[in-house]
Amino acid sequence: MPSRKDRGFEHPIPSEITPRAVYEGRRELLRRMAAGSAGAALAAWAGRDALAGVARPGKLAPLPGGSSTVPGAMTMDRPTAYEHVTGYNNFYEFGTDKDDPARHAGALRTQPWSVIVEGEVHKPRTYALEDLLRLAPMEERIYRLRCVEGWSMVVPWVGYSLAELIRRVEPTGNARYVEFHTVADKTSMPGLASRVLLWPYVEGLRLDEALHPLTLLAFGLYGEVLPKQNGAPVRLVVPWKYGFKSGKSVVRIRFVEKQPTTAWMAAAPHEYGFYSNVNPHVDHPRWSQATERRIGEDGLFQRKRPTLMFNGYEAQVGQLYAGMDLRKHY
């Protein structure tokens, strides 16, 4: 279970706030909790301090977002430095080394851009990027990001819940899963020449996972538009799953009845399951998942962090998997 700190109960108190103000603030929080609005109150409280430490780097066009009130959307963990977030990436379309995306992604054309939404929906549509940018208010959300390789980051994303888009296309009663296809441009993506995966990259979620308010359609990070190596111009972010579940540079979203075969399932089904929830009790064949190395905390005596169930989002998403054997459905 997440610690009290992970749930937003503990945070630094600025020196200018008096003990009386702290008391009154806590009393008001308890009052809201008693009234049934605990999630929004906790999110707003955590978000206030978290956003204060996030400065726009001034590298790309600004993309501001309001503070999110979605429970769990504003972790109190310190955000990872911008240079690490944008310089240490897995994006195999540009190469398999961590610095390949930053070196090669500049050639990717992200204008014009569109996303096809099709399949088991009543209102299929092709959305231009400009349409998606105005579809719902942008929010800033600070999420943990956990890679299956055993490292992690904390990223301040900008976007809105994928559910905003899903509601507008109106899934049919046959829609049980959502499939995501990412761009495969041979002219700008040298990694497509390799056979490490089948291209285009395909990922998928169960419909209820896709509808969860924490599942994010992201257009920016650190208050600016997404860098190309991070999945510009639009990507998925599912914070309780390993990072490879969050497809980058999305061009197609399909609603389907049967569970899709994802890129990593096709490549190594004995290593990668469909769900790929962060789980410290289920190891990958090549990596223990019990602990993680936070990027930027690489000192000689820096200890690894214990991995949290569902990456610390168990309180928000655990009910999605009630009754499931998570060792079997890994």
Annotated binding site: 89, 92-93, 147, 182, 230, 235, 246-248
Q: Where are the alpha helices (DSSP H) in the chain?
A: 19-34, 38-52, 82-87, 100-104, 129-133, 163-169, 207-211, 263-267, 314-317
Contact between residue 46 and residue 75 where contact means Cβ atoms under 8 Å apart: yes
Sign of the Cα torsion 162, 284, 143, 228 reads: negative
- How far apart, in whole angstroms, are the C-alpha atoms of residue 293 and residue 273? 23
Q: What are the beta bridge partners of residue 116?
A: 126, 252
- How far apart, in whole angstroms, are the C-alpha atoms of residue 199 and residue 191? 10
Secondary element (H or E) of residue 154: strand 151-161
Q: Closest Cα partner for 240 from 314, 295, 290, 307?
A: 314
DSSP string, 55-103: ---SSS-B---EEP-STTSB--SPPPPHHHHHHS---GGG-SSTTHHHH
Q: How far is CA 112 from CA 11, 44, 100, in A?
A: 43, 36, 24
Contacts of 322 (CB under 8 A, 6+ apart): none
- How far apart, in whole angstroms, are the C-alpha atoms of residue 179 and residue 205? 7
Which residues does the annotation place in the binding site for Mo-molybdopterin? 89, 92-93, 147, 182, 230, 235, 246-248
How is residue 121 annotated by DSSP? B
Contact between residue 182 and residue 201 where contact means Cβ atoms under 8 Å apart: yes
